[in-house]
Amino acid sequence: MMETRNYLILLVDDQPENINQLIECFKVSATPYDTLRASDGKMALKILEKVTPDLIITDWEMPIMDGITFIKKVKAIPALKDIPIIMCTGIMTTAENLQMALDAGAVDYLKKPIHAIELTARMSSMLKLSSLYKQVKKQNEEIKQQNEEINQQNEEITVQTELLTQMNVTKDKLFAIIGHDLRTPINSLKAILDLVAIQGITEHELWELSKGLQKQVSSIYFTLNNLLQWANAHLQGINPTPTPCNLQQLIAESINLLFSTARNKEITIVNQLDETSIVFADANQVDLICRNLLSNALKFTFAGGVVTIKGELLGKHYQLSIQDTGQGIQPAIQDRLFTSHHTTYGTHGEKGTGLGLSLCKDFIEKNGGTIWVESEVGKGSTFHITLPTL
């Protein structure tokens, strides 16, 4: 059962007898009222700081703060602006006065002396309208809240849908790479091992086969590493943990790892970096960037060529450049080199997943750097990256 209460009315008038007259008029109404009194607008505002009445009836001419000023101040307070206010006066009774009161924010206007029936009728009408307005406002707020909840749910569904789509794309790419790029070198590796196990070979033949074996193992290693890094970046995001990184040391480790590849193609690697090549970035991600860029340079450099690694400090960033003397890159391919999983066979028929440069771009940008390429077909390419310094 809904609990009922008396309406609360604030009466503002500097003459006590006027307030008493208003209260006497209330007695003819069947609607129960409770009243609060204030002798001027300033006192009324103090009361409104603690209590919110259902209706305000105010006189016009009062000391300290008149009725018009009081109404304007009430309407300027967001929490009070919807309280209906009736202007009640015996002096300011012209049409211009009526318009002034309405412009200030009053909803009705009564002339003194007050007639009880007229007053209670006006009050009843104002309170019913006010009650209806409150209900509509509450319903609108509830509808607004429901719409916000629906919008939030739709946003969550959209995010989940996008995530699911991304996961499906990632899954399809994983299966494609596993089915093609990993199966091919593994089949070759299996064929070599089957040959050793079934036929038996001489030490010299084993030495010759080990070159192919090393090539297949290296291919599988790089493919798996890029694949795992790429899948992790797409499913969990890239969250760098910056630390001071020595590029000379990381490049040296990559050169050591790729030494056999360079030796088999008789490629000379010239590392011109020195101890000043320090950047502030995620060490694991920078390591992957260096290995991919150096691996690509070896992959596309002709036998007997040279890969040169340079660096220089540019303001608050360090620029690393890896230059090869390879086949170069067509201009049309350069435009989508870092955004699509484009793959091209190397100078000895080497094939990759097309993930390396895409990974490099993602990792470099997450670490606050940039990557770009300068290339000329038939003469080679130079990949440049920048990373922030301390």
SS3 per-residue string spanning the chain: CCCCCCEEEEEECCCHHHHHHHHHHHCCCCCCEEEEEECCHHHHHHHHCCCCCCEEEECCCCCCCCHHHHHHHHHCCCCCCCCCEEEEECCCCCHHHHHHHHHHCCCEEEECCCCHHHHHHHHHHHHHHHHHHHHHHHHHHHHHHHHHHHHHHHHHHHHHHHHHHHHHHHHHHHHHHHHHHHHHHHHHHHHHHHHHHHHCCCHHHHHHHHHHHHHHHHHHHHHHHHHHHHHHHHHHCCCCCEEEEEHHHHHHHHHHHCHHHHHHCCCEEEECCCCCCEEEEEHHHHHHHHHHHHHHHHHHECCCCEEEEEEEEECCEEEEEEEECECCCCHHHHCCCCCCCCCCCCCCCCCCCCCHHHHHHHHHHHCCCEEEEEEECCCEEEEEEEEECC
- Domains of the chain (ranges, CATH numbers): 7-114 (3.40.50.2300), 238-390 (3.30.565.10)
Q: Could you count the other beta carbons within 10 Å of the beta carbon of residue 31?
A: 12
| Joined tokens for residue 296 | 């690509």
Asked if 62 and 39 count as a contact pair (C-beta separation under 8 A), the reply is yes
Supply the pLDDT for residue 119. 80
How far apart CA 116 and CA 20 sit, in angstroms, is 12
pLDDT in tens, 12-58: 999 989 888 888 888 777 777 888 999 989 999 999 999 989 899 99
Taken as a whole, the chain contains a residue count of 390
0.85 exceeded by pTM: no
**Residue-level pLDDT at 323:** 94
Segment 340-386, tens digit of pLDDT: 555 665 565 555 445 567 778 888 988 999 999 999 888 899 999 99
Q: What angle do CA 238, 239, 240 make, to 5 degrees?
A: 110
d(CA 363, CA 289): 8
In which residue ranges of the chain is pLDDT below 50? 1-3, 180, 352-353
Q: Which long-range contacts (CB under 8 A, 24 or more apart) does 382-385 make?
A: 382/321, 382/322, 382/323, 382/324, 383/293, 383/296, 383/297, 383/321, 383/322, 384/319, 384/320, 384/321, 385/289, 385/293, 385/319, 385/320, 385/321, 385/360
> What is the pLDDT, as a whole number, of residue 284?
81
266-285 b/e with 16+ CB inside 10 Å = b?
ebebebebeeebbbbbbbeb
pLDDT of residue 2: 42
CB 248 within 8 A of CB 275: yes
